[in-house]
Structure formats: C-alpha cells, structure tokens
Amino acid sequence: MIALQLFLEFTLLSFVAFGGATALLPEMHRVVVENHHWLNDTTFTHLYAIAQAAPGPNVLVVTLIGWEIAGLAGALAATLAMCLPMSVLIYLLIDRWEGFSGKRWQRAISLGVAPLAVGLVFSGATLIARSAGLGWAAWALVAVTVVANLRTKLHPLWFIAVGAALGLLGLV
C-alpha cells in the first residue's frame, strides 16, 4: 500500500527536517520522483508552486505530494508522518528543556545545524529550477525576485501574483 510506504519514508525524513519542510524539498524529490517514480518533475514543481500560493504553514507541500500520490489517505499519511514524531518528542521534552537549554552541547548543535540548513534550502532552490526546466526569461524572473526580495519589504504574495500573471501571459 503506497500510503503506508509514504508514511514510513516521510517519518524517516521528519527526523532530519532541520529547517522545516522547505529544507526537505531535495530529499522529497529524490524519494518521490527519482527512487519511486510516484510523480514526475513537472507535477512536483507544480505542487511546490501551489503550496507557495496557498495560506498556511510550509509543511502543506507535503500534504499536496501525498494527495497526488495516494489521494486522501496519502495526504493524511504524509502530513502525519511529517508532524507526529517531533510533536510526540517535543511533548515529552518541553518540561525538561530549561534543564539542557544553554548547555554547551545544545548550543553547539544549534550552531552546527544552521550552515547545513542553508545548504538544504539552497539545494531546494536549484532543484526547483532544474525540475521546472526554466528558460532564460524565467531565470531573469528568478534573478529579479531574489534581488527585490532581499532589497524591499514587499509581501511575497506580490511576487507570486506577478509570477502567475507572467506565466498566464506565456512570458516565462
């Protein structure tokens, strides 16, 4: 049963999801597109785009991937797998957090994770670029988005609206 397999694969991933679901994009692509061929590149890219345009936590891209692979059972299995293990762990640990927060090993892990998470998000960006098969106009849009997002305080929805409009007009 694919939903169960999805649940097990994504449960494993939830333990290394430093940086949330965004950091998991490359690995989800590897598991879902490259290893199991459950989705193709185009669908994967589209699901990422839909998740970007919808309100809610970033984790919902996982829900969409589960839905396309195995319907409602897949959507729930993937979402639960991503959220449940750490939720249980945090439920058990939160009362002890004050005890180990600020210890040298705890700070070392937090410091050590940060550069890895940057690498994961960067990899996710290159992966979306690759699987979307961007042309030169789309690359120009990527570049403008990066600069504008770093230099202005415009809400991300504006960028998404512009991207959608340019896409509708067939310009990217």
Partner 1 sequence: MTAAGTENQSRPDLRALFLGFSSVGLSGFGGVLPFARRMLVEEKRWMTPDEFNTQLGLCQFLPGPNVINLAVVVGKRYQGALGAIVAPVGLLAAPLAIVLLLALLYDAYGSLPLAQGMLRGIAAVGCGLLFAMAWRMGAAIRDKRYFLPFTVMVVAAIAWLRWPMPAVMLAGLAASGMVAYWRLGKK
User: Binding to partner 1 (CB under 8 A): which residues in 68-127?
Assistant: 68, 72, 75, 79, 82-83, 85-87, 89-91, 93-95, 97-98, 101, 104-127
Contact call for residues 79 and 59 (beta carbons, < 8 A): yes
Selected from 3, 21, 39, 78, the binder of partner 1 by CB under 8 A is: 21
Q: Does position 152 bind partner 1 by CB under 8 A?
A: no
* Burial (Cβ within 10 Å: 0-12, 13-18, ≥19) of residue 151: exposed
Among 6, 7, 10, 63, binds partner 1 (CB under 8 A): 63
DSSP state of 96: G
Host H or E run for residue 151: helix 136-151
Q: How far is the CB of 7 from partner 1 (least distance, A)?
A: 15
| 30-59 binders of partner 1 (CB under 8 A) | 30, 34, 45-59
For the bound state, the minimum distance from the C-beta of residue 56 to partner 1, rounded and expressed in Å, comes to 3
| 3-state class (DSSP) for residue 135 | coil
Q: Minimal distance in Å, beta carbon 124 to partner 1? A: 5
CB of 1 or CB of 101, closer to partner 1 = 101
Nearer to partner 1, 4 or 109 (CB): 109
Q: Which of 64, 69, 77, 78 binds partner 1 (CB under 8 A)?
A: 64
CA dihedral of residues 24, 30, 35, 39 (deg, nearest 10) = 80
Which residue, chain included where needed, has tokens 């797998």?
81
Distance CA 73, CA 119 (A): 32
